[in-house]
Structure 1
Amino acid sequence: MKKYCFGIDVGGTTVKCGLFDVKGEVLDKWEIHTRTENNGINILPDVADTIAAKILEKKLDREEIAGVGIGVPGPVDEEGNVMVAVNLHWGYLQLTEEMEKMTGLPVRAGNDANVAALGEMWKGGGAGYHNVVMVTLGTGVGGGIIVNGKIVTGSHGAGGEIGHIHVEDSMEESCNCGNKGCLEQFVSATGIVRLANKMLDESDAPSVLRNGPVSAKTVFDAVKEKDGLAAEIAEQFGKYLGTALAVIAGVVDPEVFVIGGGVSKAGQVVIDYIRKYYREYAFSGCKDTAFALAELGNDAGIYGAARLVLD
């Protein structure tokens, strides 16, 4: 009988690790450094070593371990092959196959944003739902789509790349992906700063945002203080993201949108601006889709990775 599983979330700086029971209770969590030098050749051996060490420390019976789930920052196909993971300096890698050789355990792999969405569906803001779209608003914009409890991976491992939906024809700067006018350029933390600076340049209206460095946090803090210019910036943010989510709803019709990432720490005010425009543009059958804030924070990835091996 299987009692345990491991959830691994590989980031560009640290690898977050979790030991879980099969009901989703986290029994231990820890981090190791991500050694990205030499094209990331040490990353998987380091992960295998830390798993082996934890098995010894906890005196676990390998026959009782369901396996290892792992999320990585890049497209991952349904066979567990990584197309490319720029932040880890990986090219094509047969991730699942390599990890199974190193650990001697069953392994399942997925894109980190998709895996985080699975974690939020399992034990976070999307708990109780089986059709979930998660949007992570951080330095960039990540996304994960869950349909009938399963991650939508796509044929190239690029399912859920919400941040790279085209939303603006007039954008002249390039996104990190190489295209122009991506959603990420307007609703990420850096995108909100872009919207704010443009508004501050084009308007003479008084605003507390003129008193110091502008960030996504200062914008939404100013919104809460009834700052008029900040409210206009939030309206632009809400229109871009709400419209994009209305398009997504017309394709996958989720039960809930889960909003996470650093920007979401502003709380309900973020959802209020998104939902206003979402309801305006969504297909009639989708207008009442629920919205929720993510609850697992930086642990969403390890929860989702663990869930991968329990499907």
Structure 2
Amino acid sequence: MMTSIIGIDIGGTTVKIGIMDPDGHIMDKWEIPTNHANNGAYIIPEIWQSVSQKLDSTAVIKGIGIGAPGFIDSSTGYVYEAVNIGWKNVALADELQTISGLPVFVANDANAAVLGENWKGAGENARNLIALTLGTGVGGGLIVNGDMVDGENGMAGEIGHTTIDPDGYLCNCGRRGCLETVASATGMVRQAMEKMEKKPNSPLVSRYKQNGTMTTKDIFELADAGDESCEEIVAYTADILGLIIANIATITNPSKVLIGGGVSQAGEDFVKLIDAAFSRYALKRVRHICELKTARLGNDAGMIGAAFLVRQRLDHLTF
């Protein structure tokens, strides 16, 4: 009889669900819409309804792991606030455990993705690792001496909210000059909009008028074509990321740095620029043993990492 683990990644648009074997191999996966109605009150019961429809009577499920957005106490599975799905003071682990009858373990979604990437992805079970996810924002996570760093109230590893310019752009967190105001997809587009104001006849402006919008894909394509403004945006963004990684690496001394998310998919050239900046700023002894790589699990990282939570917390059981 096959023993399984359920891994769940709750996002603002969809909930990704996977049934995995104890070694993290996905046997089945699917998505359901994230129901925002009534401040997300239906998300938990709809998750279990969807899961229970997939299970047969012979299924042996050891537990459920969940990666969820927001501010989370991973020791209790309590979500203090997850703005993008409407949650505030939700006892996620307790509620799902009550309706499922299974052990439930919860982590912040970014941390879950880091655990997944380290378990089955590019991390290759590194004991000391830094991970950055470059998307609409900048997510992050730290593994130190084999353990995910949560901090006193779950805020450790919020790399995207490292200050790079105290007088910089206003961030959604309420502070100014956070890394994600520059190095995220949103931040890079913001840089492009400023460039367009200064150079109204640039290819950037032509592309913007043609498409009616601006994306990081446009920025990287124009940079590859030799547009000076876009080359400057890409170079500056890579330089800032390299500097931040070097500073964090001085504190945590990792063997690997993983770069993931949509922006990282711009190509190896962008990752090489980040790596070069990291080399410029890092202490030689730190840099010497540290490898910078592109993450490889994509959208599956969160649910695989959620499944790893079950393995991690129930390692005293036989799988």
TM-score normalised by structure 1 residue count: 0.92
What corresponds to 2:182 in structure 1? Answer: 186
Give the corresponding residue for 1:111: 108
Instruction: Specify the alignment match of 1:126 in structure 2.
Output: 123
Give 1:250 deviation, angstroms: 1.4
Matched, 1:167 2:145: no
Residue of structure 2 in register with 1:88 after alignment: 85
Match of 2:220 in 1: 220
1:208 matched residue in structure 2: 203
The residue number in structure 2 matching 1:137 is: 134
Question: 1:164 & 1:152 partners in 2: Cα distance?
Answer: 16
Cα contact 1:135–1:260 (8 A) shared by 2: yes
- Aligned counterpart, 2:317: none
- Where 1:69 maps in the other structure, the secondary structure is strand
Picking from 61, 66, 72, the partner of 1:70 is 66
Aligned equivalents of 2:156, 2:167: Cα separation in 1: 26
TM superposition score normalised by structure 2: 0.90
How far apart are 1:40 and its partner, in Å? 1.1
Q: Please state whether the residue corresponding to 2:76 is helix, strand or coil.
A: coil
Distance in 1 of aligned mates of 2:123 and 2:223: 27
Task: Give 2:46's aligned residue.
Answer: 46
Counterpart of 1:299 in structure 2 is 300
Aligned to 1:252: 252
* Partner secondary structure for residue 295 of structure 1: coil
Write the letter of the residue equivalent to 2:276.
Answer: K
Pair 1:199–1:39, CA change in 2 (3 A): same
Using a 3 Å threshold, how does the CA distance of structure 1 residues 100 and 169 change in structure 2: closer, same or farther? Answer: same
Corresponding residue for residue 28 of structure 2: 28
Q: Distance in 2 between matches of 1:224 and 1:125?
A: 27
Q: Write the deviation string for residues 186-214 of structure 1: whole angstroms up to 9, x where unpaired.
A: 0000101122222343358x853232123
Aligned length: 305
Q: Which amino acid aligns with 2:58?
A: L
* Equivalent AA in structure 1 for residue 179 of structure 2: L
1:127 counterpart letter in structure 2: E
Distance in structure 1 (CA, Å) of the matches to 2:149 and 2:80: 16
CA distance in 2, matches of 1:10, 1:60: 27
CA shift digits 1:162-209 (9 cap, x unpaired): 1111101221x42111111000000000101122222343358x8532
Report the equivalent of 1:60: 58
* Percent of aligned pairs with the same amino acid: 43
Q: What is the CA deviation profile of residues 79-121 of structure 1, one whole-angstrom value per residue up to 9, with x for unaligned ones?
A: 2211211111111122212221111111110000110111111
C-alpha distance in structure 2 between counterparts of 1:285 and 1:98, whole Å: 47
Question: Does the 8 Å CA contact 2:207/2:218 hold for their aligned counterparts?
Answer: no
Within 1, Cα distance between the matches of 2:259 and 2:221?
18
1:277, 1:4 → 2: CA distance?
Answer: 43
**Kept after mapping to 2: 8 A contact 1:121/1:130:** no
Structure 1: runs of 5 or more not aligned: none
- 2:97–2:104 Cα contact (<8 Å) kept: yes
Show the counterpart of 2:275.
Answer: 275
Contact residue 207 and residue 228 of structure 1 kept, 8 A? no
Q: CA RMSD in A?
A: 1.8
Contact 1:267–1:293, Cα closer than 8 Å, also in 2:
no
TM-superposition CA deviations, 1:241-292 (whole Å, max 9, x none): 1111111111212211111111111121121221222112222322232111
The residue identity in structure 1 corresponding to 2:177 is G
